[in-house]
Amino acid sequence: MALRAALRNKSTLSGLLSQWSSCSSNGRVCVSPVLFAQRRNNSTSQKIKVDFDQSTGVAVMRFQSPPVNSLSLDFLTELCISVEKLEMDKSCRGVIITSTQPKVFSAGLDILEMYGKSPEHYREFWRAVQEMWLKLYGSNMVTIAAINGSSPAGGCLMSMTCDYRIMADNPRYTIGLNETLLGIVAPPWFKDTMSNTVGHRQTEMALELGLLYNPSEALKIGLVDQLVPEDQVLTTATQMMSKWLAIPDHARHLTKSMMRKPTIDKLTSNREADIQHFVNFISKDSIQKSLGMYMEMLKKRRG
Ligand code: CO8
């Protein structure tokens, strides 16, 4: 609840964590017992399982929120805490994100969080979405997405925050920013993230048409970097991680920051306006109607 409150009260998660941390005599950060009563290498929370191997410096973060790892407020809060914890642990140098759910990496933002709720709820939810993006896109760690299922919309955004993307070569899986299909519009920082990944022209077409690409198409436009058989996604991610970790950390993350900082700065200098824009947009009757119809369509498709 305190973390939720921190997001609500505009303080960053880092701010909150630093408030709750104190420094020991050797200068290493000691994490307060308030937040991390049992600081362990491995943790299982409700929606995300984190396994950190201290000998390699690599953590694997498994999304385990049935049925489709949708990015609910709780999921996002947990994700931000997990990333922040790993970021604060200087022995952690890389993170692989993947899913335990069959056929789905992440279905993107939880539509129920954007439907029929209060403006205060939309505000809190959108701040958490921003926070997730800022944490992952700005991470100093090497981040690799092991995409072992479909990854539409916010799932695609989350994948694109990573340094490298490996996708299961299964033609039934899709990835892309399909917001226009829901009658909604991807915000500028979604657009910038995609443009930084695949270029302006591909982004323009992808966003206007709400394109969802199969793995071969995604590889062709550079939305993912590598395709492998489904049962090799995680092992390939682990091998690729070793390659990235062979580069000196400081040089790599300064370079990453040089590439990404202008995009990050655009959002950080505009967060409140971006939240207000989201709240105004999502509260419109016409947008609510579109979302309602889309959810009905998802249910009918299943039936
Ligand atoms: N949010 C909430 N519930 C979802 C979502 C979601 N994003 N996706 C699926 N579900 C639900 C379904 O309704 C279904 O519920 P129920 O069991 O009650 O019928 C259940 O999850 C299982 O779904 P499926 O049967 O469809 O599962 P499949 O394994 O067949 O398919 C897919 C998985 C491919 C992920 C499919 O569910 C799908 O395409 N989902 C929709 C994905 C989508 O379009 N997401 C967009 C979310 S919007 C977003 O991320 C960015 C918004 C930016 C907003 C900007 C505004 C300014």
Closest atom of ligand 1 to CA, residue 186 = 55
Is the pLDDT at 221 greater than 90, yes or no? yes
pLDDT, average across residues 160-187: 97
Among the listed residues 16, 109, 182, 234, the single catalytic one is 109
Is the pLDDT at 30 greater than 80, yes or no? no
3-state helix, strand, coil in the chain (%, to 5): 50, 15, 30
Out of 11-15, 141-145, 278-282, pick the least confident.
11-15
pLDDT, average across residues 198-226: 98
As a whole number of Å, the end-to-end CA separation of the chain is 37
Residues with CB under 6 A from ligand 1: 67-68, 70, 103-104, 107-112, 150, 152-154, 178-179, 182, 184-187, 278, 281-282, 298-299, 302
pLDDT, average across residues 157-166: 98
| Rounded alpha-carbon distances, angstroms, from residue 231 to 149, 160, 223, 235 | 11, 22, 21, 8
Is the pLDDT at 259 greater than 50, yes or no? yes
Which of 163, 242, 173, 269 has its CA nearest to residue 212?
A: 173
Half-sphere exposure of 18 (CA within 13 A, CB side): 6
The length of the chain, given as a count of residues: 303
Among the listed residues 178, 227, 234, 267, the single catalytic one is 178
Which of 16, 17, 20, 80 has its CA nearest to residue 48?
A: 80
Is the pLDDT at 164 greater than 60, yes or no? yes
| Rounded alpha-carbon distances, angstroms, from residue 238 to 4, 156, 196, 207, 224 | 32, 20, 24, 31, 16
Given a contact cutoff of 8 angstroms between Cβ atoms, the answer to whether 241 and 142 are in contact is yes
Q: What is the pLDDT of residues 95-154, one digit of tens each?
A: 999 999 999 999 999 999 999 999 999 999 999 999 999 999 999 999 999 999 999 999
Which of 109, 159, 298, 302 best tests ligand 1's pocket when mutated (most atoms within 8 Å of CB)? 298
Q: Which long-range contacts (CB under 8 A, 24 or more apart) does 287-290 make?
A: 287/183, 287/184, 288/115, 288/116, 290/182, 290/183, 290/184
Percent of the chain scoring above 70 in pLDDT: 85
pLDDT, average across residues 148-170: 98
209 is catalytic: no
Distance 71 CA to ligand 1 centre (A): 10
Q: What's the CA gap between 198 and 222, in Å, rounded?
A: 6
> 34 versus 147: which is more confidently predicted?
147
Write down the pLDDT at residue 288: 96
Write down the pLDDT at residue 301: 84
| Rounded alpha-carbon distances, angstroms, from residue 40 to 30, 53, 82, 100 | 13, 11, 12, 21
pLDDT, average across residues 189-214: 98
Q: What's the CA gap between 210 and 66, in Å, rounded?
A: 25
Tell me, what amino acid is at 203? T
280 is catalytic: no
Structure tokens at 22: 């104190």
Q: Where are the alpha helices (DSSP H) in the chain?
A: 2-8, 13-19, 73-88, 119-137, 154-160, 188-198, 200-209, 215-221, 233-245, 249-268, 271-283, 285-302
- The strand pair at 21-23 and 29-31 is best described as antiparallel
Q: What's the CA gap between 1 and 131, in Å, rounded?
A: 16
Write down the pLDDT at residue 23: 32
Residues 6+ apart with CB under 8 A from 299: none
Is the pLDDT at 12 greater than 50, yes or no? no
Whole-prediction pTM: 0.89
